[in-house]
Structure 1
Amino acid sequence: MERAEDEDSSTPLDLFQEPADFYEPEKPPTFTNYTLKTGQSITLRLGHLLWNAGQVISMYLEQNTKELVQNKTVLELGAGAGLPSLVAAMLGARRVVVTDYPDQDLVANLRYNVEHCSALPDKSKIVAEGFIWGGQVEPLKSHILPDVDGFDLLILADILFNHSEHARLLATVRDCLKKTSNSAALVFFTPYRPWLLEKDLQFFEMARADGFVVNKILEQTMDKVMFENDPGDEALRRTVFGYEIKWNLP
């Protein structure tokens, strides 16, 4: 018995510990700059990439500032780095709520970009929150005036790829879009999987079936694809499509 105990006691204590280089080290964050027509620049810390639709919808906001942004309440869903929301805040939106999935790192990155955006005239007018599509919207609406039942502008940029979530996404549009003739949801996207374009477009058919008015307002071809080695029609993978969803009101 003594010999067996001696053998057991000689077993290295770190037998089941991973070597120091077992885990891939965390990659440092990447940064990119976006410049408005005014010459003002935004530095963004990216969780992944700066998607084309986010850039195109930001340019669209600049081109239609008076109608869409100035003194308006704005909600962005699935925001990523939050570029369109930051642009809206810089262009004079009354209140901006920028959201993404309630993952700690995602929301922290949004808040970092808000806090470090030196071009914002008033950082108190923009707030970042976690939100799951189809969930309770009262926490989002609590950031706007209590007598205002909804947002003037909703921003959805490059989030239609998640087809199983279309119904929940549309429910959030229905619950958050202010019921006036001037309110609108802007839905811009690129079919990065061109063979699934029809499934992307089903979101708009669902919106029409739900009583909304849907109009295509933009089609812009980018200089190059985001992912050169991806399969599928290259022309489609370089194209940003823009749609506007509004209430069907007299």
Structure 2
Amino acid sequence: MLQHLLRLSYPTPADHLDPEDHFSTALGTIFSDDLANQHGDRDALITYLPSTYPAYPAVELRLADPAGEDERRKFAHYLWNAGVLMAELWWLGREEEHKWRVKGHAVLELGAGVGLAGIMSVLAGAEEVVISDYPAPEILQNLRSNVERNVPSQLRPKVRVEGHTWGDVTSPFPAANAGKFSRILAADCLWMPHEHANLARSMRHFLSPDEDARVLVIAGFHTGRARMAAFFDVVGDEGLEVEEMFEMDAEGKRREWRSERDGGAEDHGERKKWLVLARLKRKTSINSGSA
């Protein structure tokens, strides 16, 4: 399972943890059949061991401690299963690897959270990587710290952290980088329906006009299938189209994508084991040279 690739440790003695910390770290043991979707809490050090380790190194991640309630609602202070799977795309098999490859590409990670997918993109040979999230100082500083902790000094010039509010295409960062990225990564960014159009607008704005440029989307169903599925009804209005989409569980089993299962009465425990994987491209009816 995806969560078996993660280890949580604490720099302070266990007796200094409060009851909430003890409970959150024990959930996987207490509810062994209930798949954990979010990982980490305050003070935790998350160690990610890629399934191909030691070909790819272990990555150590700290989580942000957002200052205000509005920032905490962004949920950037957790690592989610979609982010782990985005870092584990070699699971897809050699015959599909080229469709999701980041090596040699200019990569933008949107809604990065702890930045795992962006960090792995650097280590996997991306030519340039921008790791972005909501422009809250605590979130961006934590991302910079995670990059410094895990990216070797010789690769640091290839990666930077930027604040970006979805839908904003006029501020300095988006204005200077329109159509620049041939790979855009979005892991568990679909849980806010009111942000779907803004997210798709940012994707389209930053996506390169190159024929093989793609947006790679992975999202879990734990927040509700209907809420997340609505994103794919919006992308066409923003100049994107779905090239391929399917579902995969935490063990790597696949099935076809459906916007609804069991007449909307899908079991919550079963639903949260699954994620959707989608590749988006520029809409063919849109002038590919425009940004």
Determine if the TM-score, normalized by the shorter chain, exceeds 0.5.
Answer: yes
CA distance in 2, matches of 1:187, 1:118: 24
Q: Which residue of 2 aligns with 1:163?
A: 193
Task: Give the total of aligned pairs.
Answer: 211
Of 157-166 and 131-140, more deviation after overlay is shown by 131-140
Q: Cα distance 1:73–1:138, how it changes in 2: closer, same or farther (>3 A)?
A: farther
Counterpart of 2:226 (choices 198, 216, 221) is 198
The 5 Å alignment of 1:35-54 reads: 35-36=49-50, 37-39=52-54, 40-47=57-64, 48-54=77-83
CA distance in 2, matches of 1:209, 1:128: 29
Q: Which residue of 2 aligns with 1:208?
A: 236
Could you list the per-position Cα deviations for residues 189-231 of structure 1 after superposition, in whole angstroms to 9, with x for gaps in the alignment? Answer: 012123xx223111111113444220344422126xxxxxxx9
Q: In 2, are the aligned partners of 1:90 and 1:121 still within 8 Å (CA)?
A: no
User: How far did residue 67 of structure 1 move?
Assistant: 5.8
Tell me the secondary structure at the aligned position of residue 241 of structure 2: strand
Q: Which residue of 2 aligns with 1:101?
A: 134
Q: In 2, are the aligned partners of 1:193 and 1:232 still within 8 Å (CA)?
A: no
Q: Which residue of 2 aligns with 1:24?
A: none
CA distance in 2, matches of 1:61, 1:46: 25
CA distance in 2, matches of 1:62, 1:93: 18
TM-score by length of 2: 0.66
* Structural RMSD (CA): 2.5
Q: Report the AA paired with residue 203 of structure 1.
A: F
Q: Which residue of 1 aligns with 2:18?
A: none
Tell me the secondary structure at the aligned position of residue 88 of structure 2: helix
1:139 aligns with 2:173: yes
Q: Report the AA paired with residue 34 of structure 1.
A: Y
CA distance in 1, matches of 2:42, 2:219: 28
Tell me the secondary structure at the aligned position of residue 187 of structure 1: strand
User: How far did residue 119 of structure 1 move?
Assistant: 5.0
Q: Which residue of 1 aligns with 2:272?
A: 237
- Runs (4 or more) in structure 1 with deviation over 6 Å come to none
- Unaligned 5+ residue runs, structure 1? 1-26, 224-230
TM-score by length of 1: 0.76
Q: In 1, are the aligned partners of 2:143 and 2:161 still within 8 Å (CA)?
A: yes
